[in-house]
Amino acid sequence: MRAIKKRIVSVCVVITIFLLILTARLAELQLFRTESFGSHHINLIEESVKQRTQSVLIDDGRGSIVDRRGEPLSAGVEPSVVLFPFIKSLNWPSEKVASITGMSEGIIHSLVSRAKKPVILSKKDGAELTQSDLTKINEFKFPGVYGVMVQEKPSELSASHIIGYTAEMPVTAKKRYPDKKLPLTMKIGAAGLQKAFDAFLLPESETKLLYHVDANNNPLFGVNVKYIADSSAHYPVKIKTTLDSDMQQLTEKALTQAGIKKGGAVLIDIQSSSLLAMASKPDLNVNGSSSSLSNYMLESMKPGSIFKIVTAAAAIENGLDHPSARYNCNLNPYGGAEEDRQLGSLSFDQSFSRSCNYTFNVLSNQLIKKVPDYMETTAEKMGLVHPVGWQGTVFHYSGFKQFPEEKQGTVWSDNRDKGSPKAVAQTAIGQKDVQVTPLSIANMMATIARGGKGMEVKTAEEILYKNGISMYRFPNSELANVSIDHYTVQKLQKLLRLVVSDEKGTGVRFRTLPFEVSGKSGTAETGRKDAEGHNLINKWFAGYFPSDSPRYALVVVDADTIASKAAANQVFYDIAAGLK
């Protein structure tokens, strides 16, 4: 008997402990950790509401990115009609909705009858709507039928690499914002301007329509739909960029038509040092290859003869640009056997316009004996070594960068190579270890065109509150240590003009444009081959125009291509002609 009582007591104790544990767990779930449960900090209240509601997202609350005229680049709003599924069992005004939207009543009925979640009718579905049409829809006062402005991403993404993209990255989000409790599913900026301005673009709250449902998705409390929105007059903000949508589309079209697979183009407004257009190939595909995620206009690559501008500038500064000097341009870059291109005896100016490698071998080896660090110091003075994108302090964000992915340039990987005449000659013509970004080349052209004053490149003009008032305006900023003296700039301007005006210059094809172009071509050997064994090159053309009153600096690079298919000149021509 005593043993039975003992067993009963033991069972009661176990049951009591179990009930206490269960009670503690329920208390944790329902009282103490309802808004931040588990290691992932799940909001249990929100999740329980989601289980018994259906909703349609009107706006995710994230700030938007617009071009210099205010046209949306990331996401805009479209007049739309929202139809909730429960109306299929009601006598709703489908005929009137069809008349206002311009859509077939049969198609609308079909969409609603098959819907398991709210149906949104907008321009992409064939609904031609205006703001006044939305007013007419809402005047029906029929539950489940609403006219609203719905956030829409552009069907064709323009400036995709510079705008960037967002992604769900909970680990990164926690590191980036340790003091914020962000939902696990919240997308944050992963690249481009979305990443650079992420702290400003983060949503405060969503705008949505929702209603409570039972297990069969029927309304629980009648057919009343709630409209939930943030009433703030300040958020979300807009990032007003310097980009021009028309110029951006022109640039992207030129690259696509020319069939450039890897490379791109950069267009800069010379006077303000503002980015007008930037496009990179291959096109951005978040779910595609890693190469499509790279903005090659911010990546370092071999520039080839574009780098001769640096050697020419150093020669001018050190008095080696003698007009009477002649160079045997039938020789190869190292003064040996004949070059493939037989250019004859050329002056300094002609050597530049016709891109004679041998001349720059002679000059570089003379210069390095006279000034051992001339290449890196001159390249730095011309803005090719350090990042050139706008950076500074914005409110409490120090070191804020408008181009977060921008790489640095390099001239020498090993300073011991300065003792090798062959390595010096290769470096002087943009080979060996020379790596620069297309953005820095474009900015160098702008610096030369504006008279030698180096400026940081801006791609964002200001941050605007929701009501249009400016939160912050990015000032024009000079580039530290980037400046070319007046005499050298004048000589460089003459040389760059000669590349096009010289009947044997490498830019002669641009003489047919309705304005004069100044620039420089470049062909860099990459040391790689394609599947058929052809040598792969980086083909460049960089310049500015009109020569007598410069407005635009433009750089085009066709990377990892073969000589017979290189299309950099064609793209440069098409973009310049389209700008007029």
Query: Between 156 and 501, whose confidence is greater?
Result: 501
Active site annotation includes 305: yes
Provide the pLDDT for residue 228. Answer: 64
Query: What is the phi/psi pair of residue 255, to 5°?
Result: -65, -40
| pTM of structure | 0.84
CA neighbor of 408 nearest in space, from 383, 426, 443, 431: 383
pLDDT digits (tens, 9 = 90+) for 109-125: 899 888 888 888 888 88
CA neighbor of 363 nearest in space, from 399, 388, 391, 327: 327
Q: Are 72 and 153 in contact (CB under 8 A)?
A: no
Share the mean pLDDT of the chain: 88
pLDDT digits (tens, 9 = 90+) for 257-283: 999 999 999 999 999 999 999 999 999
Provide the pLDDT for residue 22. Answer: 72
Helix axes 94-101, 131-139, angle to 10 degrees: 170
Q: Are 389 and 459 in contact (CB under 8 A)?
A: yes
Provide the pLDDT for residue 384. Answer: 98
Percent of residues, the chain, with pLDDT higher than 70: 88
Residue 358, number of CB atoms within 10 A of its CB: 23
Candidate from 139-148, 525-534, 540-549, 557-566 with smallest mean pLDDT: 139-148
pLDDT digits (tens, 9 = 90+) for 212-230: 666 665 555 455 666 666 6
Average pLDDT of the segment spanning 523-530: 92
Provide the pLDDT for residue 368. Answer: 95
Provide the pLDDT for residue 221. Answer: 46
Percent of residues, the chain, with pLDDT higher than 90: 62
Query: For residues 302, 306, 311 and 312, what is the CA-based torsion angle, rounded to 10 degrees?
Result: 180
pLDDT digits (tens, 9 = 90+) for 76-100: 778 888 888 888 888 899 899 999 9
Query: Between 350 and 336, whose confidence is greater?
Result: 350
Cis peptide before 404 (omega within 30 of 0): no
**Which of 25-39, 57-71, 518-532 has the highest mean predicted lDDT (pLDDT)?**
518-532
Write down the H helix ranges in 290-414. 308-317, 348-353, 357-370, 374-381
Provide the pLDDT for residue 143. Answer: 80
Query: Between 397 and 49, whose confidence is greater?
Result: 397
pLDDT digits (tens, 9 = 90+) for 456-510: 999 999 999 988 999 999 999 999 889 999 999 999 999 999 999 999 999 999 9
Question: Angle 495-499-500 (CA atoms, 0-180°, nearest 5)?
Answer: 125
Average pLDDT of the segment spanning 330-346: 85
Average pLDDT of the segment spanning 17-33: 64
Which of the residues 74, 160, 305, 521 is marked catalytic? 305
Place of tokens 């909703």: 55
| CATH of the domain spanning 57-75+155-206+230-236 | 3.90.1310.10
Average pLDDT of the segment spanning 162-190: 90
Going from N- to C-terminal start, the domains of the chain cover 57-75+155-206+230-236, 77-152, 245-579
Query: Between 193 and 55, whose confidence is greater?
Result: 193
Average pLDDT of the segment spanning 179-194: 89
- Could you say which of 3.40.50.920, 3.40.630.30, 3.30.1280.10, 3.40.710.10 is the CATH number of the domain covering 245-579? 3.40.710.10
Measured in whole angstroms, the distance separating CA 39 from the mean position of its chain's CA atoms is 34
Does residue 240 sit in helix, strand or coil?
A: strand
Cα 251 from Cα 44, distance rounded (Å):
49
N- to C-terminal Cα distance for the chain?
Answer: 106
Beta bridge partners of residue 549, listed in sequence order: none
Average pLDDT of the segment spanning 30-40: 54
pLDDT surpasses 80 at 108: yes
Residues 6+ apart with CB under 8 A from 95: 105
